[in-house]
Structure 1
Amino acid sequence: MSYDLNTLRKDLRQQRRAVSKFQQRQSEQAVLNRIIRLPEFQQAKKIGIYLHAFGEIHTRKIMQYCFAQGKAVYLPMICNMNQRLSWVHISQHQYFSQRFSHHPLGMKEPMSSRGLHVSKLDLLIMPLLACDAHGTRIGMGGGYYDKTLASAPQHPFRLSLAHHFQLISETLPRESWDQPLDALLTPQALLRFPR
């Protein structure tokens, strides 16, 4: 089956926004319970992660766990010059005091002029709209993660978090510039994808 990606994105955005607060709390806890058992997470010292903003799996508890375990947390910031992401280290104090700027696309970003290149991270936790059984990831359409990962001489372990309905049974189209995942974590399952 071939997908109209615009229709797919629209449908999945609506489904994500329709997830109740109660379901989000349950999903966030279930994902935390799974992720802390992942060897890649346990071994990671520098973790790139997103701030949820559009109905994605919430990341607050994962970040709190990282701070408690002494892991360094990095948030994405869009570089306007090259439309790639750089990764800004934030402290627990910065996170809880919500010292973020608002990007025109609607998400919050750390306030900083510079950050790390993605290749310096051990683990990259990404949002998505859809993923198939081969690790093909469909994002919001800006291509920021794909462009950023394509520029990396070495890649961190790429993990996406998703509600189970975002796992698509049909094969999604993969372009040459698309950057596949290493694993997908939902509240119900962990899928690993061979590179």
Structure 2
Amino acid sequence: MSRLRKQLRSQRRLLSFFDQKKAERKTLQRLRHTSHFQKSKKIGLYLHAFGEVHTQLLIEECYKFKKQVFFPMICNMNNQLMWVKVSRHQYRNKRFSHHPLGMKEPMASRGHHVSHLDLLVMPLLACDHKGTRIGMGGGFYDRTLASAPHKPFRLGLAHAFQLLDQTLTRQSWDQPLDALLTPDHLYRFKR
């Protein structure tokens, strides 16, 4: 598993700026036509930092259609993610702090539980055809979703090469995706 993680991280980092922007545009075009995006009012998104599919255009699209945008913040007490609502003004003025793990977080003291969201857009390293997701290795999304009485629709964003033909071993704590969106296709999974 560690070899696969390393290979996928490396492959993501090798994508050019042009390839990233093209993937971002194509995933947005696909996502805006899905019923889950159209009907969702509260959307959890990530700020790309490690070669994930970029989310800037998607975030702006959410603001354009008056959707509430939430970004993750790691709660140090339980290593779960809390979701902080961020206004368009805060987003555009880059009101974020840097977490020691390398990602940007909203500057806030408290957030909402993941069950507050309608749609959760998740980063990933890999996913199989059953919705089993490999994240960055910290388990933050799995821990957070495991504690949710109401689970938002879970959508992974990925480059095409991150969808694996092999079936991944799903551990008891792994939280599968409902769907995976790549620049060229939307895959739906049965939970």
TM-score, with structure 1 as normaliser: 0.97
Question: Following TM superposition, by how much is the alpha carbon of 1:108 offset from its aligned partner in structure 2, in angstroms?
Answer: 0.3
Provide the C-alpha distance between the structure 2 equivalents of 1:10 and 1:36, rounded to a whole number of angstroms.
32
The equivalent of 2:170 in structure 1 is 174
> CA deviation digits over 1:31-65, x for unaligned, max 9?
00000001000000000000000000000000000
Among the aligned pairs, what percent are the same residue?
64
Matched to 2:36, the amino acid is E
In structure 1, which of residues 82, 104, 116 is the aligned counterpart of residue 78 of structure 2?
A: 82
Q: CA RMSD in A?
A: 0.4
| Residue of structure 1 equivalent to 2:23 | 27
Match of residue 72, structure 1, among 63, 68, 74: 68
Distance, in Å, in 1 between the alignment partners of 2:92 and 2:14 is 26
| DSSP-derived class of the 1:93 partner | helix
Does structure 1 residue 152 correspond to structure 2 residue 148?
yes
- For 1:158, the aligned partner's letter is R
Please tell me whether residue 118 in structure 1 is matched to residue 110 in structure 2.
no
- Aligned equivalents of 2:154 and 2:138: distance in 1? 18
Give, in angstroms, the shift of residue 154 of structure 1: 1.1
**SS across alignment from 1:87:** strand
Show CA shifts across 1:143-190 (max 9, x none).
000000000001000000000000000001100000000000000110
Q: Which runs of 5+ in 1 are unaligned?
A: none
Partners of 1:173 and 1:130 in 2: CA distance: 12
Q: TM-score, normalised by structure 2?
A: 0.99
| Counterparts of 2:41 and 2:141, CA distance in 1 | 20
Match status 1:44 vs 2:40? yes
Equivalences, count: 191
